[in-house]
């Protein structure tokens, strides 16, 4: 079975225990993240909010591709479902922004389940093909006339900007950022909890040795479709956050490239690494911003070159690379200590 080694061996950040240095790292990260809210301009906050949203989307691929070994090139479609669910509820039905998040997750999850069901019979490449076709077809489906009363057709939908509740002394950009941070933390916590326990081990077993996993009593079909649905739900939440941040959705922002960007973010961050998804999100948000100064075509070129370079040189991504670097540093210190 070629499936067996679909994901490169590397930094599985899922071995479980919450070691003290990890807790410390998370606390430091959160303190910095909250402090940033008061330190940087509104535009930077917008970028950071988008980073969190992209990070959730990349995390959805981490769970699906990195942990479970199912290859998807079409998560932009589920991201679009989430984004549109939020936009439709806010613009057409006057729902408050926060209440749309669970609906977006469920809607994307259901669509994900429906796509994941045929995916059961499709290994590796075929699944990549189906999801790629889904990504290419998604903008067309969103533009369909029959749905334009709901989706706004080609023009898309715009929504109101979220305001800080309870009279908190925050401007809307700061509040949106804080909101995204909170939702992002929940999504990452869910992702981490999901992958470190029994279900996570079942997912990894299916990725590494489907046959052995099945003979040990893991229900391949159930785990794979559910993983697909959960992953799609994460992507849906990411889409919902994007709508709340940007206050606008249009079919053409959900083209094939958004799906490919998530894939690039996944590879850059590290396919099986949960913190790596953050690197991936930051990469998707900031690299095109820098590259756009060179040329409109530069982001695509840079993404492509970096993607290939990672495949040849650093298949475990930034997180895997850091992991290896730290291990090597600590191992050396350990050796010198014992030598003394």
Partner 1 sequence: MSGLAHQVISGLASGSIYAAVALALVMIYQATHHVNFAQGEMATLSTYICLTLINAGVPYWGAFVITVIVSFIMGAVVERVLIRPVNNAPILTVVGVFIGLLLVINATDGWIFDYIIKPFPSPFGGGQPMLDGFISSHELGETGVTLLVLLLVYLFFRHTTLGLAMRAAAFNPTSARLCGVRVNRMLALGWGMAAAIGAVAGMMVAPIVFLDPNMMFGILIYAFAGALLGGIDSPLGAVIGGFLVGVLENVFGAYIVGTELKLTVALIIIVAVLLIKPAGLLGRPVQSRV
Binding footprint of partner 1 on the chain (CB under 8 A) = 1-3, 5-8, 65, 71, 73, 118, 121-122, 124-126, 128-130, 132-134, 136-137, 140-141, 143-145, 211, 256, 260, 263-264, 267, 271, 295-301, 303-308, 310-312, 315
User: Rounded CA gap, 205 and 216, in Å?
Assistant: 10
The torsion of the CA quartet 222, 224, 226, 229, rounded to 10 degrees, works out to -150
User: Rounded CA gap, 41 and 69, in Å?
Assistant: 40
CB of 295 to partner 1, least distance (A): 6
Q: Classify burial at 289, counting beta carbons within 10 Å of its beta carbon; exposed 0-12, middle 13-18, buried 19 or more.
A: exposed
Annotate 17-47 with DSSP letters as a single string: ---HHHHHHHHHHHHHHHHHHHHS-HHHHHH
Our CB check for partner 1 shows the closer of 16 and 304 to be 304
CB of 69 to partner 1, least distance (A): 8
Our CB check for partner 1 shows the closer of 48 and 77 to be 77
Our CB check for partner 1 shows the closer of 58 and 240 to be 58
For the record, the structure tokens of 247 come out as 């206050």
CB of 243 to partner 1, least distance (A): 23
CB of 288 to partner 1, least distance (A): 11
Q: Are 242 and 50 in contact (CB under 8 A)?
A: yes
CB of 68 to partner 1, least distance (A): 12
From the list 56, 107, 64, 54, the residue with the least C-alpha distance to 85 is: 107
Q: Are 303 and 264 in contact (CB under 8 A)?
A: yes
Q: Are 151 and 142 in contact (CB under 8 A)?
A: yes
CB of 303 to partner 1, least distance (A): 5
Q: Which 3 state secondary structure label does DSSP give 247?
A: coil
Contacts of 208 (CB under 8 A, 6+ apart): 4, 5, 69
CB of 124 to partner 1, least distance (A): 4
Between helix 172-196 and helix 20-39 the angle, nearest 10°, is 160
Contacts of 254 (CB under 8 A, 6+ apart): 76, 77, 79, 80, 83, 138, 139, 142
From the list 73, 54, 78, the residue with the least C-alpha distance to 269 is: 54
CB of 130 to partner 1, least distance (A): 6
Our CB check for partner 1 shows the closer of 177 and 262 to be 262
């Amino acid at each position: 079975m070629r499936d067996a080694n679909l994901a490169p061996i590397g930094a599985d950040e899922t071995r479980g225990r919450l070691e003290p240095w990890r807790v410390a790292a998370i606390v430091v990260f959160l303190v910095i993240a909250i402090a940033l809210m008061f330190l940087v301009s509104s535009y930077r906050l917008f970028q950071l909010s988008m980073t969190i949203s992209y990070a959730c989307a990349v995390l959805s691929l981490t769970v699906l591709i990195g942990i479970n070994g199912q290859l998807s090139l079409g998560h932009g479609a589920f991201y679009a479902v989430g984004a549109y669910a939020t936009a439709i509820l806010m613009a057409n039905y006057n729902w408050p922004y926060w209440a749309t998040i669970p609906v977006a997750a469920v809607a994307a999850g259901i669509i994900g389940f429906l796509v994941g069901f045929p995916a059961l019979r499709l290994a590796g490449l075929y699944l990549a093909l189906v999801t790629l076709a889904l990504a290419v077809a998604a903008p067309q489906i969103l533009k369909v006339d029959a749905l334009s009363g709901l989706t706004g057709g080609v023009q898309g939908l715009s929504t109101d900007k979220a305001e800080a509740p309870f009279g908190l002394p925050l401007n809307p950009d700061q509040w949106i950022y804080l909101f995204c941070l909170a939702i992002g933390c929940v999504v990452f916590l869910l992702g981490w909890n999901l992958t470190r326990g029994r279900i996570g081990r079942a997912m990894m077993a299916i990725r590494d040795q489907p046959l052995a996993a099945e003979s040990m009593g893991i229900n391949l079909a159930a785990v794979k479709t559910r993983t697909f649905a959960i992953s799609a739900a994460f992507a849906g939440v990411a889409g919902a956050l994007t709508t709340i941040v940007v206050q606008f959705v249009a079919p053409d922002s959900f083209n094939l490239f958004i799906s490919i960007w998530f894939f690039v973010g996944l590879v850059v961050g590290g396919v099986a690494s949960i913190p790596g998804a953050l690197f991936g999100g930051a990469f998707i948000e900031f690299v095109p911003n820098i590259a756009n100064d060179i040329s409109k075509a530069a982001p695509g070129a840079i993404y492509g070159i970096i993607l290939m370079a990672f495949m040849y040189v650093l298949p475990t991504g930034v997180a895997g690379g850091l992991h290896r670097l730290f291990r090597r540093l600590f191992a050396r210190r350990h050796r010198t200590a014992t030598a003394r």
